[in-house]
Every structure is written in C-alpha cells, then in structure tokens.
A and B are shown apart, each in its own frame.
Chain A
Amino acid sequence: MALPNHTPLNYRIWHYTYLTFCFLVFFFLIAPLFVILPLSFNAEQYIHFSSKMLALDPEGFSLRWYEDMIYGTKNPWGLATKNSLIIAFFATIGSTILGTVAALGLSSRHMPYKAAFMALLISPMIVPLIISGTAIFFFMAKVGLAATHTGIVLSHIILGTPFVVITVTATLSGFDHSVTRAAASLGSNPVNTFMKITLPLIMPGVISGALFAFVTSFDEVVVVLFLAGLENTTIPIQMWVGLREQLSPTIMAVATCLIVMSTLILVTAELLRRRSERLRGINR
C-alpha cells in the first residue's frame, strides 16, 4: 500500500492513521489467542508470565501441564476427549446427511415455499442457545434421553444442520444442472447421478459444511450443560467447570491443543473454499 510520491501530507497522515488502526484491530483479534500458548509451557503453578519466562530461561518452561492433561490422576480430560469426539463424529454425520439432502431439495426450483422452509431450517442457528438448550432439555427429559450420548448427538445434529444447509445451497447455487440432465439422458438413474456426478461436484461445500457441524458440536457447551450427566462430560464442559473454579495451567494446555486443532480446520476450510471456487469457475 505504498502511496504515490505526490500525495499531500494530510492524506498521508490520514492513510497511516487508517493503517495503524487496522493493525491494532488485527492485533486485538489475534493476540489474545497467543497469550495462551507460552503460558501452557509455564513451569510454575500460576497463570502469569514468570521472570524466568520473560528472560527466556529454559528452566522457566516445561511440559508438565501437558503431562498432567494426559496422565494426571483423576483427570477428566481423557473421558471428555473421548466423549467429545464420539458425539461430534455422529453429530457431524447426521447433520451432513440431513443437511445435504435438504439443501438439494431447497435448491430445486420446484420447491414450494422455499423462503419459509429455509428460514425454519436455519432457525437453530439464530435462536439463542440458552433457549434451544432449555427447550431441548424439556424434550429429552420427557422422552428419557437426558444425560445420554444419543440425546446430545440429536441436539447437536439440530444445531449443526443450518451450517450444512447454508454451505451446500451456496455451492449448489453455481451448479450447472445440465450435467445431471446429461447423465440422465445417458441412462443413469437419479441415485447413480447423485453419487457419481452431483456429489463429487458439491463435495467442497459438503465438507466445509461438515467442518462447521463438527466444530459446532465439538465446541458446544450450553446445550450439553443442560443435558449432560457426569458420564457425558465433554471438553467444553470440563473447560467451563475448570474456568469457573480457577484458571489452571492445565486448561491453558488444553486450550493450546484446541488452538492447534482450529488452525488445522481453518487451513482445511480455506483450501476447500478455494477448490470450490475453482470448480465453480469463479476466478478472482
């Protein structure tokens, strides 16, 4: 963003103020995440930058909190991780299948009351989680699914589908329907056409929707707080409990792992987005 030489001084000042402001906002967005990383390697008990750490003395750093996270006695993280992964896995599969199928219907130009259906199917994303949690809790308690994995998975499917519906309909909006007609004219049945033609083409949208659904479930805490019993504890629940009691370095270690995970997901999502744009012929 170099300015031409003839730029008047006041524009120059204005321009650099603008860039500084932008820099500060980016810093505000990203810096808090990086506070956690060094603290998770702290050798001391406290969530504080010790003088040894600031002097970059190797003794100020240790992996003890990672050790505590994995091997610590009475440690909930193992069970929580297992539960989180199981729940997120099934919730992702459920959301992705239901959401993709519904998106196919919603993208058809024959679909009646499209806007109304869309608004209804996306509503779980808009309604505050506390309300969803309350309502789903009453329902699950009534049908005897409170404090079960099944109940949590079902509610996470609800919360995850809107993302799948949105990403897949977005992908389908640039979809060239003549290819499916071509397949049909060549004698392919609808299921075959879907599996061999449509699905590979909309795959980036489906996967990025699935990623959203996975993250939604993996990160979800409000509904689980209402539904979970001791056996169903998840990583977010354990973090919530830990944060309410005391900030501990072990939580920083867990948080660091989660940041690494979200970085991986971000990279995957970005690559998918670009691939999808390439496939749909959007060049920028």
Chain B
Amino acid sequence: MSQEKILSSDGIPLEESLKKAERKNKLKAVLLVAPLFLFILIIYIFPIGDMLFRSVDDRMITKMLPKTFVAMEKWDGQDLPDEPVYQGLYEDLSILKKNKTFGKIIARLNYEKSGFSSLIKKTIRKIDKLEEGNYKEQFIKIHKRWGQSEYLVALKNTAPNWSYAKYLKGVDLKFDEKRNIIQQDEDRRIYKTLWLRTINVAFWVTIFCFILAYPIAHLLATLPMKYSNLLMICVLLPFWTSLLVRTSSWMVLLQQQGPINDLIVWLGWAADDNRPELMYNVIGTFVAMTQILLPFMVLPLYSVMKTISPSLMRAGKSLGGTPLVSFVKIYFPLTIPGIGAGSLLVFILAIGYYITPALVGGASGSLISNNIAYHMKSSLDWAFASALGTMLLVGVLAIYWVYNKLVGIDNIKLG
C-alpha cells in the first residue's frame, strides 16, 4: 500500500515542516538563554576556573630562574651539583638583581625552606663582585649554605610548574625534603581544626534551625490565613533586612553591657563584675547565624506543609492513632522533602558564611571563609586562598548536586 506523504500548505512534507518548526523553536529558546549564559560564563565561570588554576600554578619561580633549572635537570640530587648549576644561578640572579625583582623569589624559597631568605639576600648583595669562572667555589665562599645539598635539593623541588602543595597545606600536610607527604609541625596545624569547626558550626546551625523552624512552619501552615499572614511577617521581615543590620543587632544584644547580659545579671546567674562573654566566641556565631538563617529553613518547610491536607491527620486519628502516632506515621514523612530542602539550603549557606563570624565570632568562632579572606586581603597568599576556596567549592558543589537530585534546583521557592 503506497502511503501518500501529507504535505503542509506550502508543499513541504508535514513531518519535515514540523521538524523545522521544532528546530526554530529550540534555537529561539537557546538564543534567549544565551546572553545570560555567556555573561555568567565569562564573568563567573571562567574566573572560578582561573582560581583553580592559580591554586596549582607554581610557574613564577621557574620563569625567574630558567637557566638554573635547565642545568639542574642533569643533576641527580645526591651530592652537590656541578659548575653549570652555579653558573645558571649566577646568570639568573644577576638578571633579577638588575631588574630588582628578587623579592618574590625570596618569599617563595623561604616558604620552601627557611634560611633561604638570608642566603639569597647575601648572594644578591655580593653577586657583582664575582669573577668569571669557577662559580661553585665562589658561591660557597659567599654563603656556606650553597655547599649544603639540602638547600639545592629544596631549590630543585620548586622546579615543577604545577604543585599541589597549597592543598596539602590546607589539610595540615606538607612535603619534606625528599618529597614525602608528612604532617605539618604541631604548632602549625590549624586547618584541620578550622575545617572541622566550619562543618561543626554549619551542622549544628542546621539542626538548631530545624528544631526552631519546624513548629513555627507548622503553625503558619495550619493557622487561618489572616493570622498566618501576620505571623509570616516575622519570618519575612528579617529575611528582607540587611545582613549587616541583623548582625549589628546581635552585637548590641550580646555585648558585655548588653540587654541579654543585663538579664542574666538581674536573674542572678552571674555577678555584675563577672559578666559572661557571649560575643567574640563560638556562642556568638551560633546564636547569630541560627537567627539569620532561620527564614531559609522556615520557607521551604512552610511551602511543603501548606500542601498537606489536614484531612490526612484527621483520617489517622479516626483510624485510632494517637496524635503522636499520626504525626510520626503520616505528617512527618510527608514533610521530609521540605526538611531536605531547608536543611541543605541552610547548610550550604552556613558553611560559606563570612560576615557574621567575622563580626561576632572572634578568633574561636571564625570559619574557613574568614581564613580565605585573611589570605586574600592580609597575607596576600592568593594561591593558598584559591586552594582553600577550591576545597570549599568542591564541598559545596557536592551538596548542591545532592540538593539538585533530591529537590530539583528549579523547585526553589522564594517567599
């Protein structure tokens, strides 16, 4: 049976015409998304890629001492290297001295092994007086450390263009001279504590938010509209208020002469001259962050609870369940999507919190974000800040992925 093709009005087969229309619509949709996509790609995604790149980039020193490293390739790293290495050093350092760009290299090498600072400075000071030939002997005469192979080994260790040393530092590990990974010295182990504290704070803030949010979300969802709208303001007003305003109100409340301390003294829980420190420690971080992040837990819970029909609980009761049993078996399981959404949202926000811990947290309440900011703005170790940022980013993206799987990112509701 021969099947005649159905043609559209302009004589093209209908199937083809439909496909064409489909393609056109697809193209239209893509073109609409394209401007924002490109914008975010260029100003956001690429810079984040650049940040990853910076965290492993160690080419600066290779560029500054090119001849030395070429000469070092032939050296086995056991005894002292031969003349060509010292000649390379001489040539490289002379250029650095001429351009006055040796500051960075001193910092970088001293980071690798302490003692390099004075070594390089002294060498650069005397480098003009060196005579041609036999540089090895003359270098050792300038500073005896040029005759100790461990310094030259350390120098050779900086040769690779890429290094994950910053990541090791981020978890309190480091390389020893033989490139083995070992624990950081006892007094320098701070990052493990910091990571654990960050996770700890984020975890407990999430738990506190959940405990506080669940009953009020339930109340908001079950009250008649005219009351719940009024109470909703209590949730939404903080949500819309500036973060700094809310943090400053906590600073007012928690300060030593503040209302909360006044109350504690008035109740006789503490002496007036021995007021407890509520701020600049982890207590301040906990309290302020819980209050600030609470709306992010209430809103998803509320939107889920709103959809649960009250007749379900009534049915549970009519079938003989006590209120507790009907709650545990019927209501609670239905709210789990909301719990998941709210908890993940609060946890993600809490783990990267910066402003509030910086203002009310003090030293014992500061989180990983505060350390990243410190390395960006004060110590200027941008590579290390990038490495810490990347580690945090990987963690957050993992949670984001879970969130997307569980809740679906397009199901986020705002207000």
Say whether A and B bind each other: yes
> For the complex, would chain A's binding face be called helix, strand, loop or mixed by DSSP majority?
helix
Q: Are A166 and B240 in contact (CB under 8 A)?
A: no
Question: B393: which A residues are within 8 A, CB to CB?
Answer: 127-128, 131
Cα A108 to Cα B396 in complex, Å, equals: 29
Cα A132 to Cα B51 in complex, Å, equals: 10
Q: Are A105 and B30 in contact (CB under 8 A)?
A: yes
- In B242-296, which residues have CB < 8 Å from any A CB? 242-253, 255, 257-259, 291, 294-295
A138/B47 contact (C-beta < 8 A), A111-B26, A212-B414 known = yes
* CB of A243 within 8 Å of the partner chain: yes
Q: Are B35 and A101 in contact (CB under 8 A)?
A: yes
Q: Please encode chain A, from 105 to 119, with 1 for each CB lying within 8 Å of some chain B CB and 0 for all others.
A: 110101110010111
Cα A29 to Cα B405 in complex, Å, equals: 31
Q: Are A236 and B242 in contact (CB under 8 A)?
A: yes
Give B contacts to A, CB under 8 Å: 22, 25-26, 28-37, 39-40, 43-48, 50-51, 54, 212-213, 215-216, 219, 223, 225, 231, 233-238, 240-253, 255, 257-259, 291, 294-295, 323, 348, 351-355, 358-359, 369, 372-373, 376-377, 382, 385-386, 389, 392-393, 396-397, 400, 404, 408-410, 412-415
29 contacts between A and B (CB under 8 A): A25-B215, A30-B237, A32-B250, A33-B249, A101-B35, A102-B35, A111-B30, A112-B30, A118-B410, A120-B45, A124-B44, A126-B400, A127-B397, A128-B348, A130-B392, A131-B352, A131-B372, A134-B386, A136-B43, A137-B376, A158-B40, A158-B43, A218-B242, A219-B243, A226-B377, A252-B252, A255-B248, A259-B245, A269-B415
Give the segment of A63-71, A75-83, A195-203, A260-268 that binds chain B: A260-268
* CB of A179 within 8 Å of the partner chain: no
A240/B244 contact (C-beta < 8 A), A130-B373, A131-B48, A247-B252 known = yes
Q: Please encode chain A, from 15 to 36, with 1 for each CB lying within 8 Å of some chain B CB and 0 for all others.
A: 0001101100110111011011
Cα A47 to Cα B258 in complex, Å, equals: 8
- In A194-252, which residues have CB < 8 Å from any B CB? 208, 212, 215, 218-219, 221-222, 225-226, 236, 239-240, 243-244, 247, 251-252
Cα A284 to Cα B32 in complex, Å, equals: 33
Q: Are B37 and A121 in contact (CB under 8 A)?
A: yes
* CB of A1 within 8 Å of the partner chain: yes
Query: Given B25, B294, B408, B410, which contacts A108 in the complex, CB threshold below 8 Å?
Result: B25
Q: Are B26 and A28 in contact (CB under 8 A)?
A: no
Cα A239 to Cα B295 in complex, Å, equals: 23
A258/B242 contact (C-beta < 8 A), A35-B252, A106-B33 known = yes
Cα A262 to Cα B369 in complex, Å, equals: 27
Nearest residue, chain A, Cβ from B373: A130
* CB of A163 within 8 Å of the partner chain: yes
- In A131-171, which residues have CB < 8 Å from any B CB? 131-139, 142, 154-155, 157-158, 161, 163, 165-167, 169-170
How many positions in chain A have a CB within 8 Å of any CB in the partner chain? 94
Question: A169: which B residues are within 8 A, CB to CB?
Answer: 410
A22/B37 contact (C-beta < 8 A), A29-B235, A131-B393, A240-B355 known = no
Cα A161 to Cα B392 in complex, Å, equals: 23
Cα A47 to Cα B253 in complex, Å, equals: 10
Q: Are A251 and B248 in contact (CB under 8 A)?
A: yes
Q: Are A122 and B352 in contact (CB under 8 A)?
A: no
Query: Given A22, A111, A226, which contacts B376 in the complex, CB threshold below 8 Å?
Result: A226
Q: Are A130 and B215 in contact (CB under 8 A)?
A: no
Q: Are A22 and B219 in contact (CB under 8 A)?
A: yes
Q: Are B51 and A131 in contact (CB under 8 A)?
A: yes
Q: Are A30 and B234 in contact (CB under 8 A)?
A: yes
Query: Given A102, A120, A135, which contacts B50 in the complex, CB threshold below 8 Å?
Result: A135
* CB of A39 within 8 Å of the partner chain: yes
Query: Given A29, A33, A35, A105, which contacts B29 in the complex, CB threshold below 8 Å?
Result: A105
Q: Are B50 and A35 in contact (CB under 8 A)?
A: no
Question: B219: which A residues are within 8 A, CB to CB?
Answer: 18-19, 22
A101/B36 contact (C-beta < 8 A), A25-B215, A122-B409, A130-B373 known = yes
